[in-house]
Structure 1
Amino acid sequence: MMELLTSVLGWTEQTLFIGFVVFARIGATVFLLPAFGEQSVPARVKLAMAVSFTLIVAPAVYPQIELALAQAGPLSILFPEVVVGLALGVGVRLFVLGLQTAGAIAAQSTSLSQIFGGAGVDPQPAISHILVVSGLALAVLLDLHVRVALMMVSSYDLLPVGQFPDRDFLTMWGVSVVAQVFALAFTLAAPFVIGSMIYNAALGVINKAMPQLMVAFVGAPAITGASIFLLAVSAPFLLSLWIGAMNAFISNPFG
């Protein structure tokens, strides 16, 4: 009986530690994820989400972690897991920052920088706030949690347990993700930038033809109305392009 209890306790201790190793990677990722890791989300909710993801991912990667624990010390495994989790979380979080950047570029190109105000934790232009809230809602509706769970499971094949990512590889990967996100941000803001260029060119022609006319007073309502209309028309297409790029990254973060 004592031998049975000893074996059960040993198995339970090992299982709990394996779960803690999985939590080290997933917890660092969840606290940076879109929607789940927002600053407005309470820490207890983030912790509950991290534990939930851990319960989902741990059974799928149990053999790999068990083998890694047999080959290395327990403490030497935890720190690399946190680094890997942070890298994955930052990679996904950059797409939200890209959406904010697109909104900031669009707001600077038009006159919608201050309209509506901001309801987020960080001050941001109204277009950024609208796009970010809409994008996060769309991502959650399109099974963001399922995609993240699959990403975490597949990450153990690309980045084994207890091994630090190669520094050069991680640097090149980070630079490529940042470049991809900035290119996406400029692409999303392109309709507003083009509209602003047309507006300024037309305003210059009118001012040249009629110097006595206060074109700024005439053009301000026009650019504001046109920007709101353009936002309403283009937002579904912009968000579909954004969610497609983010889902492609989550499906293959190191591709």
Structure 2
Amino acid sequence: MMHFSLSDWLTLEVYRTFLVFVRVGAAFLLLPGFGEPFLPTQMRILAAFAVAVCVAPVVAGMPAALPNNLQMLLGVVAEAVTGTLLGTVSRTVISGVMLAGQVISQNVGLSNVFTAGLAIDETTSLGAMLYAGIVAILFASHGHYLILRSLADSYNLIPPGHFPEVSASARAVIAAGLRCFRSGGQLALPFLLLGLIFNASLAAVNRAMPALPVFMIANPALVMLGLYLLAATVPGLLGHGLEGWSDLPSLLRAAGSVSGG
């Protein structure tokens, strides 16, 4: 049985908590709601530290003794890589809503290539609005508990100080990307059909009356139709966008293979 002096125990406990803090802090840089650029850095650091203090005592597989300097450095880097992986998968899953907002804006005439984005991914105003709605519903429905629970459960998949297996991590990120593009395409489909039918009709009218400035007359109508369609479909857009969170644990489990050391 190993015995520690008080100073050794405190040093080991500090190192264990720091390992958890590195993983949680790296994830908080990218997690939806936690990793937004308008949040003060101090608040994110304090939130990550609070989560680390709560989670560290119950994490299994923590080092039983202080490693040497090289092993300590590798452990910290491994935790940073793991946290970044978890944040990337989570951010990619929810980015389908912003992708849909980008496509919708282009199809209803609300996009402007000269306008800077409003969200972390520099999306258009409409995409930022949908993303803000998703995040608000996520926190109002206590979905952030799923995020924190996934971070705590990640230690059952990737032990502290271990690098995630590269091929499994790549498959998880690719699966999240496919889910993002599929979700974005499904959410934007009604607006794609609206844009196709409307522009085909304008082409036919312009062919019949070449002297009529059809596009100048019809663009306000397209914006009005797009806004009415958006008002009718936005509850479904937000609800479908949140369904991706039900698949988040399975994607994280897919990334949960670890390397040999």
Counterpart of 2:37? 39
Checking the alignment, whether the CA contact within 8 Å between 1:30 and 1:36 is kept in structure 2 is yes
Q: Structure 2: which 5+ runs fail to align?
A: 255-261
SS for the counterpart of 2:161 is: coil
Q: Which amino acid aligns with 1:44?
A: Q
Question: Quick check: which one's helix share is greater?
Answer: 1
Q: Does 1:99 align with 2:97?
A: yes
Using the TM superposition, name which of 150-159 and 161-170 deviates more: 161-170
Structure 2 residue corresponding to 1:15, chosen from 10, 13, 16: 13
SS for the counterpart of 2:159 is: coil
Sort the Cα spacing of 1:67 and 1:181 in 2 relative to 1 into closer, same or farther, 3 A.
Answer: farther
Checking the alignment, whether the CA contact within 8 Å between 1:28 and 1:82 is kept in structure 2 is yes
Counterpart of 1:49? 47
Counterpart of 2:225? 226
Q: Distance in 2 between matches of 1:233 and 1:121?
A: 24
Q: Distance in 1 between matches of 2:65 and 2:138?
A: 34
Q: What fraction of aligned residue pairs are identical, expressed as a percent?
A: 28
Sort the Cα spacing of 1:57 and 1:36 in 2 relative to 1 into closer, same or farther, 3 A.
Answer: same
Counterpart of 1:112? 110
Checking the alignment, whether the CA contact within 8 Å between 2:31 and 2:90 is kept in structure 1 is yes
Q: TM-score, normalised by structure 2?
A: 0.85
Counterpart of 2:75? 77
Sort the Cα spacing of 1:109 and 1:121 in 2 relative to 1 into closer, same or farther, 3 A.
Answer: closer
Q: Does 1:65 align with 2:52?
A: no
Counterpart of 1:131? 130
Q: Distance in 2 between matches of 1:69 and 1:93?
A: 34
1:116-161 CA distance string (max 9 Å, x none): x767266532211211111111112122331112101211111122
Q: Structure 1: which 5+ runs fail to align?
A: none
Sort the Cα spacing of 1:251 and 1:138 in 2 relative to 1 into closer, same or farther, 3 A.
Answer: farther
Checking the alignment, whether the CA contact within 8 Å between 2:26 and 2:83 is kept in structure 1 is yes
Q: Distance in 1 between matches of 2:54 and 2:7?
A: 23
1:42-65 CA distance string (max 9 Å, x none): 11011011112212322321x321
Counterpart of 1:159? 158
Q: Distance in 2 between matches of 1:68 and 1:229?
A: 63
Q: Distance in 1 between matches of 2:109 and 2:131?
A: 19
Alignment of 1:139-150 (within 5 A): 139-150=138-149
User: Cα RMSD (Å) of the superposition?
Assistant: 2.7
Checking the alignment, whether the CA contact within 8 Å between 1:112 and 1:227 is kept in structure 2 is no
Alignment of 1:243-254 (within 5 A): 243-250=242-249, 252-254=251-253
Alignment of 1:227-242 (within 5 A): 227-242=226-241
Q: Distance in 1 between matches of 2:23 and 2:58?
A: 14
Checking the alignment, whether the CA contact within 8 Å between 2:118 and 2:124 is kept in structure 1 is no
Checking the alignment, whether the CA contact within 8 Å between 1:32 and 1:38 is kept in structure 2 is yes
Q: TM-score, normalised by structure 1?
A: 0.87
Sort the Cα spacing of 1:208 and 1:75 in 2 relative to 1 into closer, same or farther, 3 A.
Answer: closer
SS for the counterpart of 1:64 is: coil
Sort the Cα spacing of 1:104 and 1:78 in 2 relative to 1 into closer, same or farther, 3 A.
Answer: same
Checking the alignment, whether the CA contact within 8 Å between 2:23 and 2:79 is kept in structure 1 is yes
1:69-121 CA distance string (max 9 Å, x none): 68x9433322111111110011111134332221111111121114xx76726
Q: Distance in 1 between matches of 2:111 and 2:119?
A: 17
Alignment of 1:173-184 (within 5 A): 173-184=172-183
